[in-house]
């Protein structure tokens, strides 16, 4: 009898462990120090690992001195680019990850007014972001939320409880759109071009982990009248903002896309044109240094 009970308990334990989704730290992303939350579907994990591996292998000689300045790196080498990304992206969560449930308020924080002033995360922007099925920097959004409400938040992600004390908390949510609607249709999901396009989106979102004061998380600016996106928070007033980072990466990764088809190149260029169009005239470089709650 005792043996039977032990056997059933052991079997149940094995089944439970086997069925439970794991937070992945074993793939290439794990080696970089980026945790893939259990909410990321298996197929997407493999693609992300492959994308990051490809990034680690690139050597983008086409980068201009201005490109280097925008990212603040010495060279567009695989090593430096993965390191840049790793600094700003710590967790990747899936579309089903409910940050409303996983986030908790654990304390209040009085912010220093000389650092924290006006424009915080816009309600409209949050609403827009909630529709996103491609990618969103949740960590940055939560940090701004806490800052506006003088609250310190935690987020349960990747099997850890993370204190949201800086925009660099680096929690990025990805959606199915990243692997479908925004991919070159005639190319496989694991094609080099699609991999590089996905990476450019990561770089865009990673820039949202930077900044301080009014410019914390490098929020987007309202596009002016006459613009395609007029009236929406879809432009950048920073010459080193997310869309500029996006366009810089798209251009350089496109140059690394050897053997890419005309369709793939045209897709790179159309995304690049879209990003360039969003930079407002009179933009200037803004301070990328991230602020932090002590």
Partner 1 sequence: MRRKSKKLTYLFWGITFLGFTVGLGWHLSGKYFPQQASQHPDPFFDGSAELVGVVEEREASPEEKRPLPEISPEELSFRERTNRVLEDFPKKEILKDSGRDLHKPPPELVDASTELGAIEDLLDKNPELTKEGLRFYRKCALQEALLSSLRALCLHNLKQRAERAGLTKKINWKQFPDKLHRIADRLK
| Residues binding partner 1 (CB under 8 A) | 128-129, 131-136, 177, 181-186, 201, 220, 227-229, 232, 234, 247, 251, 261-267, 269-277
CB of 14 to partner 1, least distance (A): 42
Spell out the long-range contacts of 256-263 with Cβ–Cβ below 8 A and sequence spacing 24 or more. 256/58, 256/59, 256/60, 256/62, 256/196, 257/192, 257/193, 257/196, 259/192, 260/192, 260/193, 261/186, 261/187, 261/193, 263/184, 263/186, 263/187
Q: Which lies closer to partner 1 via its Cβ, residue 145 or residue 182?
A: 182
Q: Which lies closer to partner 1 via its Cβ, residue 24 or residue 198?
A: 198
Which residues have CB under 8 Å from 144's CB, separation 6+?
120, 121, 167, 216, 217, 219
Indicate the DSSP class of residue 1.
Answer: -
Q: Which lies closer to partner 1 via its Cβ, residue 161 or residue 269?
A: 269
CB of 266 to partner 1, least distance (A): 4
CB of 3 to partner 1, least distance (A): 58
Q: Which lies closer to partner 1 via its Cβ, residue 56 or residue 129?
A: 129
CB of 262 to partner 1, least distance (A): 4
How far apart CA 114 and CA 147 sit, in angstroms, is 13
Q: Which lies closer to partner 1 via its Cβ, residue 18 or residue 281?
A: 281
Distance of CA 160 to the CA centre of its chain: 19
CB of 75 to partner 1, least distance (A): 21
């Amino acid at each position: 009898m005792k043996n039977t009970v032990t056997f059933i308990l052991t079997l149940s334990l094995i089944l439970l462990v086997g069925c439970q989704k794991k937070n992945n730290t074993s793939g290439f992303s794990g080696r970089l120090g980026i945790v893939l939350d259990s909410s990321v579907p298996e197929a997407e994990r493999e693609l992300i690992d492959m994308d990051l591996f490809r990034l680690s292998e690139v050597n983008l000689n086409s980068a201009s001195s201005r490109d280097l300045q925008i990212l603040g790196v010495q060279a567009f080498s695989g090593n430096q680019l993965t390191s840049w990304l790793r600094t700003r992206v710590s967790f990747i969560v899936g579309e089903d990850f409910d940050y409303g449930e996983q986030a908790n308020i654990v304390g209040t924080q009085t912010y220093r007014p000389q650092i924290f002033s006006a424009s915080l995360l816009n309600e409209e922007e949050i609403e827009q972001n909630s529709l996103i099925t491609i990618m969103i920097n949740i960590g940055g959004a939560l940090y701004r939320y806490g800052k506006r409400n003088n609250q310190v938040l935690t987020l349960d992600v990747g099997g850890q409880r993370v204190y949201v004390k800086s925009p660099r908390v680096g929690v990025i949510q990805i959606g199915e759109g990243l692997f479908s609607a925004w991919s070159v249709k005639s190319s496989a999901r694991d094609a080099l071009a699609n991999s590089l396009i996905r990476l450019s989106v990561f770089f865009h979102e990673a820039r949202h982990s930077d900044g301080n004061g009014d410019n914390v998380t490098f929020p987007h600016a309202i596009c002016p009248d006459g613009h395609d996106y007029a009236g929406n928070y879809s432009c950048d007033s920073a010459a080193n903002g997310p869309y500029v980072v996006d366009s810089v990466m798209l251009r350089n990764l496109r140059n690394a896309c050897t053997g890419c088809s005309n369709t793939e190149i045209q897709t790179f260029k159309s995304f690049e044109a879209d990003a360039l169009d969003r930079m407002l005239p009179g933009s200037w470089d803004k301070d990328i240094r991230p602020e932090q709650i002590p």
